[in-house]
Every structure is written in C-alpha cells, then in structure tokens.
Structure 1
Amino acid sequence: MHRWTDLADVPSDFGPTVVTLGNFDGVHRGHASVLRRMAADARAQGSAAVAVTFSPHPLQVHRPDDAPPLLTGDEDRLDLLEQTGLDAVLLLEYSLDFARQSPEEFVRTYLVEGLRARTVVVGRDVRFGWQNAGDLTTMVELGRRYGFEVEVIDDITPTGHDEALRRRWSSTWVREALATGDVEQAALVLGRPHRLRGIVVHGDARGRELGFPTANLAQDALGMVPADGVYAGWLRRTRAADGTPVVDDEPLPAAVSIGTNPTFDGVQRRVEAYVLDRTDLDLYDQEVVLDLVARLRPTLRFSSVDDLLEQMHADVVRVREVLAAEG
C-alpha cells in the first residue's frame, strides 16, 4: 500500500481511483467492512482504492479541549488501513490553514486533480470544507460538475440477535467501553484487542524490588488508556532503543497495571506491564505494544505490602488462565 503525506507524493499517472475520506480512528469493524468492499469494487472496475485521512484529528485543531482520546496513533492506523486491501492512503496534515479551503477547493484539489477520482464513497453525514459547509448534497453536485460518481454508504451494524450489539459500529462505542475498562467489548467492536504503543521508561523500580519488574510506558504513549485496573494482555517489542524496527518479535504474556498505585500514595497515572516469569528483560528506551485482552479487577489500595504481593501472585495466576483460554 502506498503511504502519502502530500499530493506531491502521488504519481502523476496514478488512477483512476475510488476514494473515501474520514478519520478512521481505531479502524473498527465498520470501517474495515466498508474499506474491504470498496477495495474489491475498485479492482473490479480497474481503479485503485484510496482513503484520504487526517492528522491530527480535526477536533484536536478546532476544539482541543473537547477532542476525544484517540484509539490509535498514525502508525497503527496506517497498518490497519493497509490490512483492508487499500491501494493507497493519503494522510494529510490537518491545520487551520488546511481547514479554510472551501468544499469545492478541497474536492477539486485533492479528489479530482490529485487523485483522479472516478467514484467518491461517503457516509450520509459527510461534512467537508471550511466550517463543514460541504455535505452530501454538495458532494453530489460537485460530482456532476467534475465527473465523478458519489456512492453513499449507510451505517453498518452487527448481525446477530444479541440486543447489546444493535447499534452501529463506531469509534465512540469503543471509547465508551474503554472508559469502563471493558476491553473485551472494545475488542468486539474493533475486531482485535485494543492496543497501546509507547517507549519504555524508568519508573520507581518498586515492582523490581517486589519481584515483579515492570515495563513502564512513557506518558505520551499512543492509544486511549482504559479505566484503571489490572489487565491480562500481550507485550511485544516493535522498535529497539536505537530506533531499529523489531520484526516478528514473539508476544509475551503480561499482567498490565493501569492507575496511580494507591498503595504507595502515587499521583501520576501510569501503564506498567509485568511480563510473566521474566526478570531478565531490559526493555528501557525500546518501543513496545500492549494488546489488552481482559480486565481482571479494579485498582485497589492495600493495607500492607504483604497483602499487595498476595494479590499480585493471584493476578498472575488469573492472567495465565485468561491468556490460555484465549489461545
């Protein structure tokens, strides 16, 4: 899949294309279903399938105080988009200057002249251009003017008979689940476990002193951090300390603690992962990903270190059971 960050990256002879646009945060099952179908339809008509997306999220530019936490960083979002079968993604830097384009300027510059769009695939609630002035009617009118078809996709909802699933797939649904620590529900909507990605930094070394050395993620780790608690998950190295990619590293079973460590009167919220049965790992300054499988319990304040240790041993047993059942 081609990954472009500017129209200048797009070959002059690329296309014709079938194009869709959106934020695709999380690339959940609804996104994936639409994109896979779009890619297949594009190939059937001899076109390339392209997604146009943005970084940072537009709400982080226009209303940063109200912007939702992102489910994925750009690297994971692009990897997930590639898995849908797209031929290319145009990842555009979103800024106030970019946002000042009129709906017609955006369509003409990026979709028509830049990507040679033959078909544009949008949802009924599509908005684009300065102050979101462009809508579905605008896109259809511009399609007539510039010679592309507009295909409208309806919201996709889960199939089946479970009442709890009778809502459309959405990033909002994932965020709601993560806010309560329900990573299993989040995984159902995403189609995979929720992932955190970050650099391992030095902490208080308290876990090592207790016999449970942990990998502490930096505060700028990517991916929405779910509710405080202890989770079962998998840790995998993705980049060495010198920045070299780590390819096909084996996922390691881990107990993941999220919270402020109230037993020791902690203040800063942290994500810490103990890799089961491993006290020999040196992960400092390396990038790792954590795939969260299940929440075991909420964060608790213990009256003594001995009580905490007893619970930590019990947590490890439970992590083994959860991950074994998953396998």
Structure 2
Amino acid sequence: MIMFRDPSEIPADFGRTVAAIGKFDGVHSGHRAVFRRAQQDAARIGAKTVAVTFDRNPLSVLRPDRCPDDLVSVERKIELLSACGLDAVLVLTFDEQLASRTAEDFAQAILVDALHVATVLVGRDFRFGSGGKGTPALLAELGARSDFTVDVIEDVFLEGTDRRVSSSWVRELLAAGDVALAGAVLGRPVSVRGEVVHGLKRGRELGFPTANLPALLDEMVPADGVYAGRLVDHTTGLAHPAAISVGTNPTFDDVLQRQVEAHAIDSPGLDLYGHDATVEFTHRLRGMTAFESMDALVAGIASDVAQARILLGLSEPDPANSPAE
C-alpha cells in the first residue's frame, strides 16, 4: 500500500480512484465492510482504492473538550489499513487550515484534482468542510458536476445485536474490559504492541515471569484486570498462550503507571527483553485485586493461569515445564 501525506504527493498519472473517507479509528469491522465495497466498485472500472483519513481526530481541533481517546495510533491505523488490501492511503493533516476549507474546495482540490475520484464512499453522518456544512447530499451534487458518484454506506450491525458497529462502542467495551465483544466489533483481537522492557521482575520472583510492555502503546488498553490471550513475539515469529495483567498491581504500592504484563504459559526461561511483541486479549478473567499476602497472590496468579489454560484450550501442564525458575 502506498502512503501519501499530502495531496501534492499523488502522481498526476495515478489514475482514477475509488475513495473512502473517514477517521477509521480502530479500523473495525464496519470500516472493513466499506473497504470491501470500495474494492468491488474499483474492480468494475479498473480503478485504485484509496482511504482518505486524518492524522488526528478532527474533534481535537474543532472541539477538544469533546474529543475521545484514540483507539489506535496513526501508525497502527496505517498498518491496519494496509492489511485491508487497499492500494493507497492519504493521511491529511487536520489543522486549522484544513478545517477552514470550504466543502467545495475540499472536494475539488483533494477528491477531483488530486485523486481523480470515480466514486466516493462515505457514511450517512459524514460531514466535511468549514463548519461541517458539507453533507453526502452536497457531495453528490458536486459529483454530478465533476464526474464522480457518491455511495452512502449504511450502518453495519454486529450479527445477533441491534447496535451499529462504531469506534465509540469499542471504547465502551474496552473501558468495561469486555475484550471478547470488543474483538467481535473490531473483527480482530484486541491487542497492544510495543518493545518488551524491564520491569520490577516481581513476577519472576513469584514463579510467573512476565513480558512487560511500555506505558505508551499503539492501541487503547482495556480496563484494569486479568485476561487470557496470546503473546506474539515478532522478533522470533513465535506466539505463546498467555495470562495477562493490566493495571498498577494494587498488592504493592510501588507501581505508579498502568502496566501490561503477559506471562507466557508453559514457556519457562523465555527471554524477550528488547523484542517487538504484541499482546492479544481474548477473554477477561477478573478485575484487579489487592491480595493480603504473598502466598495469596501466588495462589491467585496460579488460579488465573489455570483458568486461562482452560479458556485457551490448553492441555494440563507438563510438570517438567513449571513456570518457576
């Protein structure tokens, strides 16, 4: 996938395009339905597919007081868009200058002059241009003058529910720790990625060594608690079933920032320091608990690992592969 950071970077001979416009925060299953529609439209006319998105949530400029946390970083969003099989992405810098452009100027300069759009795909609540005056209806009027059509994509609903798929719903689910349903809405496991860093090594002392990720991650972290999932080591290409802790570890008072720690089940002696790793969350086990003693903490962790083992479909542990070192 080709990435453009400015319309001026798009070659004059790039050809006709089918463009989907949106924030695409989280690149959830609803977004991917739009991209599949774009690919179908493009295949019929031999055009390229392009996602037009922004380097930040427009609300961070227009209404900072109402701007929610991003589900993913811009870099992660681009990675997820690439996995959708699009030909290109145009990441626009959303600043005061872009916010002040009229809807007509936005359509002409970006969609017509730069992208040579044949079809534009937007949601029914899509707004663009200064003051949000641009609507799908206005876009269709502009398209009639400039030789492009507009597809207004209807809401996508998660099967078995009456709620539309949205980034807001994913945020709610992550805040509640419901990673299973959040994963269904996203169409992929909830995950965070980062370089494994040194922690306090307390898990190793307790017999359950963990891979710790840094405080700043590429995706929104679910609510404090204990989860089952996978630890994917991109450095080696190996994936390990894992019991995962998120929070400040309230049994102790020396952890000041929320941490994501993953214990690779049945992998004693694993050294991941400095490795690029993803932690995937598939099941929530419990909330975060302050234990009254070290013995109670060790018993609690052992119970968490046993429950994670069941949820992940693992066989009983081999005594020779005890996590204690």
Per mean C-alpha deviation after superposition, the further-off stretch among 222-231 and 207-216 is: 207-216
Q: From 202, 205, 209, give the equivalent of 2:198.
A: 202
Per the TM alignment, residue 65 of structure 1 is displaced from its structure 2 partner at its CA by 4.5
Separation of aligned partners in 2, 1:203 and 1:173: 33
Contact preservation (8 Å) 1:19, 1:49? yes
2:309 counterpart of 1:313: no
Residue equivalent to 2:208: 212
Separation of aligned partners in 2, 1:58 and 1:111: 18
Q: From 272, 275, 286, give the equivalent of 1:283.
A: 272
Contact preservation (8 Å) 2:76, 2:218? no
Residue equivalent to 1:303: 292
Q: From 239, 245, 248, give the equivalent of 1:260.
A: 248
Residue equivalent to 2:319: none
The one-letter amino acid paired with 1:196 is: V
Per the TM alignment, residue 55 of structure 1 is displaced from its structure 2 partner at its CA by 1.1
Per the TM alignment, residue 47 of structure 1 is displaced from its structure 2 partner at its CA by 1.3
- Matched position secondary structure for 2:196: strand
Residue equivalent to 1:152: 152
Structure 1 residues 227 and 110, CA gap change in structure 2 (3 angstroms)? same
Residue equivalent to 2:78: 78
The one-letter amino acid paired with 1:306 is: D
- Matched position secondary structure for 1:263: coil
Residue equivalent to 1:191: 187
Contact preservation (8 Å) 1:36, 1:85? no
Per mean C-alpha deviation after superposition, the further-off stretch among 208-217 and 274-283 is: 274-283
Unpaired segments of 5 or more residues in structure 1?
239-245
Separation of aligned partners in 1, 2:60 and 2:136: 24
Structure 1 residues 286 and 59, CA gap change in structure 2 (3 angstroms)? farther
* Identity score, percent: 48
Contact preservation (8 Å) 2:21, 2:121? yes
Deviation string 1:39-92 (CA, Å, 9 cap, x unpaired) is 112111221111101112222333444322222223332233233332211122
Residue equivalent to 2:281: 292
- Matched position secondary structure for 1:80: helix
Residue equivalent to 1:242: none
Separation of aligned partners in 1, 2:196 and 2:64: 27
Per the TM alignment, residue 261 of structure 1 is displaced from its structure 2 partner at its CA by 0.7
> TM-score of the superposition, structure 2-length normalised?
0.90
Contact preservation (8 Å) 1:36, 1:86? no
Per mean C-alpha deviation after superposition, the further-off stretch among 64-73 and 85-94 is: 64-73
Deviation string 1:177-218 (CA, Å, 9 cap, x unpaired) is 111111000011111111112232222222122122222221
Contact preservation (8 Å) 2:20, 2:34? no
Contact preservation (8 Å) 1:233, 1:253? yes
Contact preservation (8 Å) 1:195, 1:290? yes
Deviation string 1:158-186 (CA, Å, 9 cap, x unpaired) is 34xx3xx1111111111111111110000
Q: CA-atom RMSD, angstroms? A: 1.8
- Matched position secondary structure for 2:139: helix
Deviation string 1:117-164 (CA, Å, 9 cap, x unpaired) is 1111112211111232211232122212322111211112234xx3xx
Contact preservation (8 Å) 1:199, 1:221? no
Per the TM alignment, residue 307 of structure 1 is displaced from its structure 2 partner at its CA by 0.3
Contact preservation (8 Å) 1:21, 1:121? yes
Unpaired segments of 5 or more residues in structure 2?
315-325
- Matched position secondary structure for 1:274: strand
> TM-score of the superposition, structure 1-length normalised?
0.90
Q: How many residues are treated as equivalent by the alignment?
A: 313
2:237 counterpart of 1:249: yes
- Matched position secondary structure for 2:313: helix
Residue equivalent to 2:164: 168
